[in-house]
Structure 1
């Protein structure tokens, strides 16, 4: 009995000694992993910015062909013919030649269809353009129609072109050579070129046109002491010289009759002609 007790005691001691030498392994502490649901941000509507359309600016006066140019400006040339007695064929031929049928840089930049330079006394806008010399001054117009009107006034108001207005209105050849003699262009072949254009496009038919004729009541009669006086109402583009030539009188006589101190007249002004 005692032997059993001793053996049991020895076994307990052995087991307790082995347990004291056993290492205790502990897991390292880890930070808790927090799993969060994706945040639902408030949707912000960003307006869509549409790119601006960059369309190439076109000039309405540019014409694709010479025939298109003629169709566009023939009515204006005919109107000027009836107003100033300049053959429409000549006006159109000069416009075609001088402006390259509306496609020359000068015509596009400044609506100058007749290559008219600034000259002394020009008070309108201008541009510089290389012609006979570098950087010459040329007239600039807001519209091509204004260029046509100024072309007529340019010819009417200068004495060197006065002989042209004594020609037959349908004598475009006489006008072509007369313009060269009067110094409109330095090109020796200028008349030939104008005539060639008139023949090629049959422009002389417009010289016989009665369409787009502008009828303006330019004068009225009044009786004063049994004497008939003629009056003329000044319209845009008139000058004393052009009025005197139109009614076969002189500038000095007009100034005397109307008691004018200088050559200045205004639109709507009534001038005594006789």
Structure 2
């Protein structure tokens, strides 16, 4: 009996030891899978080159002086009046330059009156200005071209100027003299002033063009970079002083694009 009990105790001890040695293993948690999504590379289209055309504003003409500018603006009108009424364009331009101070005088600026024509029964707009007497009445025009037309009619329709139209259309000297004699101006030096302007700025070239006596386009030169009066004088066989006189230049300065007359018009056309 004691033996059996001993065996029983030993068996219990073995079972107890076995249970104490049992190791509980924990299941390792697996690391979460990291899914990396790759976005396919999309090539962006190259930007098209845009060519922008830069349009430069028109460069205003530059003139040697106000008289040159006046001639450039009104020479075409003066030539049209010559064709229509037989008054030399040179005379019309010289009178306009003299009477309007090259377009800078009050009458021309405020009344578009380039020839100092007084009212004399005029029923249109008027302006009052000190002249031979205080606050005399002068004609006022909507546009300068009407002043040129009225100048033509003023001479053509008055008998005292009739002798003018017996003269040759290119005889600017006698036109200037007869204007003074007919009473157009009181200034004794009026003819000399007109003639001086005509010859200084070669205004008779416009008469020659109307009469078909002017030379072709080879009498002009358009200034390019590097041009000087000296180089042009050599090129066209003309002196610097003649070039300046022909174009009414007061200095030796030139600018690109400037149109110069390079061949004098013969005095006898």
Range into which the TM-score falls when normalised by the shorter chain: 0.5 to 0.7
Rounded Cα–Cα distance in structure 1 between residues aligned with 2:188 and 2:147: 24
CA displacement, residues 210-234 of structure 1 (integer Å, 9 cap, x when unaligned): 39xxxxxxxxxxxxxxxxxxxxxxx
Aligned-partner Cα distance in 2 for 1:209–1:154: 24
Q: Hey, what's the Cα distance between the residues in 2 that align with 1:64 and 1:149?
A: 25
1:205 aligned counterpart, secondary structure: helix
Distance in 2 (alpha carbons) for counterparts of 1:124 and 1:200: 36
Post-superposition Cα deviations, 1:8-64, rounded to whole Å, max 9, x if no partner, equal xxxxxxxxxxxxxxxxxxxxxxxxxxxxxxxxxxxxxxxxxxxxxxxxxxxxxxx96
> What is the alpha-carbon distance in structure 2 between the residues aligned to residue 117 and residue 100 of structure 1?
17
Change (3 A) 1:64 1:124: farther
Match of 2:195 in 1: 195
Alpha-carbon distance, 1:174 to partner? 0.6
Q: Which runs of 5+ in 1 are unaligned?
A: 1-62, 212-274
Consecutive aligned runs of 4 or more in structure 1 exceeding 2 Å deviation: none
**Equivalent residue number for residue 163 of structure 1:** 163
Matches within 5 A, 1:214-225: none
What residue in structure 1 maps to residue 176 of structure 2? 176
**Alignment partners' CA distance in 2, 1:136 and 1:165:** 29
Q: TM-score, normalised by structure 1?
A: 0.53
Instruction: List per-residue Cα deviations over 1:147-183 (Å, max 9, x = no partner).
Output: 0000000000100000000000100001000000000
Alignment partners' CA distance in 2, 1:147 and 1:192: 24
Q: Could you tell me how far 1:94 is from its partner in structure 2? A: 0.1
Q: Please say if 1:82 is aligned against 2:60.
A: no
Q: 1:64 to 1:146 in 2, by over 3 A?
A: farther
C-alpha separation in 2, matches of 1:126 and 1:141: 8
* 1:34-113 map, 5 Å: 65-113=66-114
Flag the 1:140–1:64 CA change in 2: closer, same or farther, 3 A. farther
CA pair 82-174 structure 1, distance change in 2 beyond 3 A: same
CA distance in 2, matches of 1:106, 1:210: 29
Paired positions, count: 149
- Give the structure-2-normalised TM-score: 0.54
Report matched runs for 1:119-130 at 5 Å: 119=120, 121-130=121-130
Distance 1:65 1:108 in 2: 14
Partner SS, residue 137 of structure 1:
strand
RMSD across aligned positions (CA): 1.6
The C-alpha deviation readout for 1:191-228, integer Å capped at 9, x for no partner, is 000000000000001011139xxxxxxxxxxxxxxxxx
Aligned partner of 1:114 in structure 2 is 115
2:148 corresponds in structure 1 to 148
What SS does the aligned partner of 2:210 have?
coil
Indicate the SS of the match to 1:209: helix
- How far apart, in 2, do the equivalents of 1:210 and 1:167 lie? 16
Change (3 A) 1:206 1:153: same
